[in-house]
A and B are shown apart, each in its own frame.
Chain A
Amino acid sequence: MEDMQNDSVDISFNSSELSCLRLETPKSSQEDLANSHKRKSSSTADSHDYKRKFTSVTLSPIDDDIFDIPQEEESIASSSEDTSPISLHRETSVKLNEWLDTFKVMSSSQQYDALNELISTCSLPHIRFMRAVIEPLLRRDFISLLPKEISLYILSFLSPSDLSNAAQICHYWKKLAEDTKLWKQKCQNLGLKEMFPPSFRRYGGWESSPLPTVVMDLSTESTSIAKLNKAPLPNSCYCRCKYKALYLRHTRVMSNWKNRRFTATCQLRGHDEHCLHKMVKLFAQEQRTELFVFGVLIRVNYFIVYMVTRAQCDAWLCTKIFGHTSLTSGMQLLDNILVSANADSTIKVWDISTGHCIHTLDGHDSAVTSLQFIHGSFICDLVKLPSSGAGGCVWRLKATPTMLVCAVGSRYGTEDTKLILLECDAPYP
C-alpha cells in the first residue's frame, strides 16, 4: 500500500516535470543567456547556484508569462552549440534573439503549441539536457522558505515516521519536526489530553507478588516479559516535547493492543468462581455513572432495551431486538451501538434506536461468552486457552486502557479457575 502511494507520487512528479518545462523555467531565462557558456562546461547544473538564482528572482515580481518558455528553447540551442565553434555561436545567438522575440509576441496558446512542436523535434539527448537544466529549478526547500506557521501545517499531514525522516534533513527541519504545536495538534486529533500514568505493572507491581508470573500460551507469538525499571521516569522525548511523547506513547499502546504484543502477562490462580464473578461485577458497576442507562434484559433469543432514568427510578421499554439464535451472555453499549456476544458463536452489532443489526462478526469456534470495548474498538483473539473452548471459557473480560483482565473458568474442570492479566503498556518515550 505504502509502496503504491509512493509510486503514484513519483508519477505525478514526473508528469509535473513535463508541465514545468512550460511553467517554471521562466525566471532564470535571462540569466541563462548569460550563463549558457558556463553551463556548457558544467552541464549538470549546480543545484545550489540555481536555487540562489531562483529565490532572488522570485522576490522581484517579474511577469512570468513573458519569460515563460524561452529558457527551454534556449537550452536546446545551447545544447546544440556544444559542437559548434564560438564564432558560429555568436551568429546563432543573434538569430536566437530574433527567434525568442517572435516567441514572446505569440499568444500563450500559440506558445504552448510551439513548445509542443519543439519538444517533438528534440532528440533524447536534448530532452535529457533539458531535464538536467530544469530539474534543479524545481528544487526549493519550501519548508525553510515558507513562514513557520505554514510549514508546520504542511508537516502536520505527515506520519510520525515521515517526521522522523524529516528531522534528519537539516537543523531547521529538525527543529520544526519536534515543534510543540505540531504534536499538540496531532494529540488533539486523537482527543488526547493527558498522558495516562504508568500502570501498576510498570512500577514493578507484579514482580514482587508471590504469585508465579507465567508466560501465556499464545499460538501466535511467545510473549516475553519485559524487563522493567521500577518507577519509570519520563525519557528525553518527554523533556523535549511533551506532546510528542504523549502521542507516541498512545500510538504505541494502541499498536500493542492491535498486534497482540503484550509487555507482560500473568495468571492469578486460586479463586473460586463465585469470587471471580463478584470482582468483575463490582468493576462493571463503577462505570455506570451516567444519568441515562440502557438496561438490557436477556432472553433466550432476543433482548429488550429499557431506558432507565436514575433520578426517578423509572424504566420504560424502548425496543426489542431479535436475531440471535442462542443465549446472549455478554454485551456492551457505546452510545447507540450495542454489541452482543452470543452462544451461537457470533457477535452482533446493533443499533438500539432502530433495533437493526449493523454487523455480524463471526470467526469464533464456540460460544462467545464475554466481550469488551476498548477505545471504542475491539480486542480480538487475545486469549487462547489450552483447553481451546472445550468446557473452558472466559467468563468475564474487563479492560483499562493498558491492561486486560480475563476471568477464566470451566464447567467440567478442564481449565483452572484463574484471572489472566494481559499488559499492553509501553514505557515513556
Chain B
Amino acid sequence: MATESANGVSSPELNERDVVITTNDNRNFTVKIGVARVSKTINNMIQDLGESLDLSSGIPLPNVDGPIFEKVLEWCEEHKNAPEIKVEQDPHTRERKWFTMTEWEEEYFRKFLSHLWDLAMAANYLEIPSLYYYTCQKLAERIKGRTPEQIREMFGIEDDLTEEEKAEIRRTNVWCTY
C-alpha cells in the first residue's frame, strides 16, 4: 500500500475519503479511496494527480463498464487490506502452484461465473493482481483435463481443423503426454 500522501492529506485519512469513479457508460460510483486503491491503475492516478486531485469530479475509466465495475468493486471491498498475492512454486515439480481460494472467493466466482472473462479484462486493465490471477485460474480450470471435443462443445468453438491437421498435431505433440 502506498504511504505517500496525496492531496496533502496523510494516507489513512485519505483512504476514508470518497472518490467518484466514472465508467464508460457514464455511471458514477462513489468509492472509498482505500477500496479504489486495490486497483493499481486507480492508485497511480490518485498519486499522479496529487494536489490537483479533485475528488468530486471523478476519475474516468474508459475501458470498464458499469455492471462489471460493480463486480470488481465487490472484490476490492473484500480485498482492501489483503496482502499482495504471491505466485508460488511447488517445490517438487517446480511448477507454478495453483492458488487456493478462500470460501468467499470461491463463492464470488460461482456467482459471476458467466462474467469471468469480462472480469479478467477489467482486472488486467485496472491492475488488480489477485482478481486477475484468480480469474485466469478459474478460466484455466474449465479447460483443464478436458478433451478437445468437450472444450469445443463447452465454448461453442467451430472446428476449423481437418482430420489430417489434427493427426499432425497429435503426432508432433506426443511428448506433451509423456
Q: Do the two chains bind?
A: yes
What residues make up the interface of A, taking CB atoms closer than 8 Å to B?
2, 5-6, 9, 12-13, 15-16, 19-20, 23-24, 47-48, 50-51, 58, 61-65, 136-147, 149-150, 153-171, 173-174, 186, 189-191, 236-237, 240, 248, 251-252, 255, 377, 429
A158/B144 in contact, CB under 8 A: yes
Q: How large is the interface on B (under 10, 10 to 19, 20 to 34, 35 or more residues)?
A: 35 or more
B176/A169 in contact, CB under 8 A: no
A167/B113 in contact, CB under 8 A: no
Contacts of B137 in A (CB 8 A): 157
Contacts of B176 in A (CB 8 A): 160-161, 163-164, 248
A170/B145 in contact, CB under 8 A: no
A146 vs B136: C-alpha distance when bound (angstroms) = 11
B24/A12 in contact, CB under 8 A: no
Least CB distance from B158 to A in Å reads 7
Least CB distance from B108 to A in Å reads 11
Cβ contacts B158-178/A at 8 Å (1 or 0 each): 111100001001101101111
Given A136-B156, A171-B161 in contact, is the A164-B121 Cβ separation under 8 Å?
no
A23/B121 in contact, CB under 8 A: no
User: Which residue among A5, A61, A64 has the maximum number of chain B CB atoms within 10 Å of its CB?
Assistant: A61
B144/A139 in contact, CB under 8 A: no
A174 vs B158: C-alpha distance when bound (angstroms) = 13
B114/A138 in contact, CB under 8 A: yes
Contacts of B121 in A (CB 8 A): 146-147, 150
A26 vs B169: C-alpha distance when bound (angstroms) = 39
Contacts of B96 in A (CB 8 A): 156-157, 189
Known pairs A139-B156, A164-B169 / 16 extra A-B pairs, C-beta < 8 Å: A2-B145, A5-B144, A9-B141, A19-B110, A23-B113, A58-B118, A64-B67, A142-B116, A153-B132, A153-B136, A157-B96, A162-B145, A170-B159, A171-B161, A189-B95, A237-B175
**Chain B, residue nearest A161 (CB):** B177
Least CB distance from B113 to A in Å reads 4
A146 vs B115: C-alpha distance when bound (angstroms) = 12
A27 vs B116: C-alpha distance when bound (angstroms) = 15
Given A61-B66, A158-B143, A189-B94 in contact, is the A171-B169 Cβ separation under 8 Å?
no
Least CB distance from B61 to A in Å reads 12
Least CB distance from A338 to B in Å reads 18
Contacts of A236 in B (CB 8 A): 172
Contacts of B157 in A (CB 8 A): 141, 144, 169-170, 173
Which secondary structure dominates chain A's binding surface?
Answer: helix
Least CB distance from A213 to B in Å reads 25
Contacts of A171 in B (CB 8 A): 160-161
A50 vs B155: C-alpha distance when bound (angstroms) = 11
Given A154-B140, A162-B143, A236-B172 in contact, is the A141-B114 Cβ separation under 8 Å?
no
A249 vs B170: C-alpha distance when bound (angstroms) = 17
A190/B94 in contact, CB under 8 A: yes
B161/A170 in contact, CB under 8 A: yes
A162/B172 in contact, CB under 8 A: no
B145/A6 in contact, CB under 8 A: yes
A159 vs B152: C-alpha distance when bound (angstroms) = 18
Given A20-B113, A145-B117, A147-B121 in contact, is the A169-B151 Cβ separation under 8 Å?
yes
Contacts of B51 in A (CB 8 A): none
Given A24-B114, A137-B114, A170-B159 in contact, is the A61-B124 Cβ separation under 8 Å?
no
**Chain A, residue nearest B150 (CB):** A165
Can you list 11 contacts pairing A with B, beta carbon distance less than 8 Å? Answer: A23-B113, A47-B156, A62-B67, A153-B136, A160-B177, A162-B144, A165-B147, A166-B151, A236-B172, A248-B175, A252-B175
User: Which residue among A138, A155, A164, A255 has the maximum number of chain B CB atoms within 10 Å of its CB?
Assistant: A164
A147 vs B120: C-alpha distance when bound (angstroms) = 10
A240 vs B172: C-alpha distance when bound (angstroms) = 10
